[in-house]
Structure 1
Amino acid sequence: MRKQFSSAAAGVLLLVGVSAAAAQDVVVIQPEQDTVIREYVKKKPMASVSLLGVELNIGTALPDTVELYEVPDVQYRYVVVDGRTVLVDPSTRKIVKVYD
């Protein structure tokens, strides 16, 4: 009985650890910063690139061949992929937000 409890407790701790690690990848963009990004992207439209086989999901890494564009005073970069603007963490090249 005691061994079953220890195994169950270890399983729960493992799941909590995995959930915490996944939660660290979540990027929260403040409404003020989101407004700045949206306005800048409207003022500086970029040509759309096509990426076959790349899904535009949060956490998806974009290939190094994709040029990322700066948004002043924002740590993220953006690019337009298949007509959709995506915000990207330049250090990991992972998508942090997809704008429709």
Structure 2
Amino acid sequence: MKRLIKKYSILLISAIILSHLLTGIILTVWPNLLTTELPGGGTSTLGNGYLISALDYLINVVFIILLTKEMNKENIKSIPLLILTFFSSLLGVIFFLFIVAQQKLNIITANTYD
């Protein structure tokens, strides 16, 4: 259990840092990426929050793949957990850790009553 907590805490922190760094790098390389010209001669600019959100969703897909592999190892089948992970990797990982902890606790209590 400690291994999973360490692994996913490092991955979550690095994912947050990566999405913000990649946004800065992308906007440095292509400064006009989020800017469009309007027909009247003006410009419309989107904030970098849109780019951060898009990168977060891509990183969440990577978390879904990682959690699917871990769920197969732990013999857990939960599609709603994967859907939750798509929208928020932090909540998906927390609930995954709760499910793993509950299963390990149930195994320990079941063995003490046998």
**Structure 2-normalised TM-score?**
0.26
Of Structure 1 and Structure 2, the greater strand share is in: 1
Of Structure 1 and Structure 2, the greater helix share is in: 2
**Rg larger in 1 or in 2?**
2
**Structure 1-normalised TM-score?**
0.28
